[in-house]
Amino acid sequence: MKFTLIATISILSTLASGMTVLDISRRGPVIRPSFGKMVWEGGPVTEPMNAIGVYRGAKTAVVLLGFILPACTGHCTISFSDAIFAAGSRKLQLFTTGRYPSRWDDWDHRPYRDIHKGTFLVPVTGLGPAIVEEDFGLTFQCSSNITNRGFEVVPVGGTDYVPWDITRGGLSITCS
């Protein structure tokens, strides 16, 4: 009896170790921003960079992001994951902007904030996918043509700081 139990466990563990675990969290190509810039209330004017983040303290910093979306015949889904860390409320609101952002944008001269798409809650450590707290259109019909899209990411709480590297984490769009 003992041998049968040990043999059964051994066989089951061998089968389980050979199984492929499917990642259904992301489908299709992952598109990262081609442009990212922190814009500080009252200055200073910053250059576009990969390491960016939202901040709210004595001053507020928002993030302008630009995506070049390839032609896709399905749905596009916006998600947020893998911040460097998160402090404060850890909540981020996402808005579309009236145009694709540029390197000359500053607090007083930036694309207008358009449609609120959703709110994300970043994990305490920053690592892993953020929880979607509000979804007002995070999934949308992709365009059959190459499209430029602009977004603004805004802190929600009274004191927040959520930095990320746009080449590895933060906001991304998947086409499926």
Q: How much is the pTM?
A: 0.82
Q: What is the pLDDT of residues 69-121, one digit of tens each?
A: 999 888 999 999 999 999 999 999 999 999 999 999 999 999 999 999 999 99
DSSP characters for the chain? -HHHHHHHHHHHHHHHHHSPPP--S--S-EE--SEEEEEETT-------SEEEEEESSSEEEEEEEEEEPP-SSEEEEEEE--S--BTT-EEEEEEESS---TT--SSSSPPEEEEEEEEE--TTS-SBPEEEEESSSEEEPPSS-EEEEEEEEE-SSSEEEEEETTTSEEEEEE-
The domain locations on the chain are 27-175
Domain 27-175 in CATH 1.10.3470? The answer is no
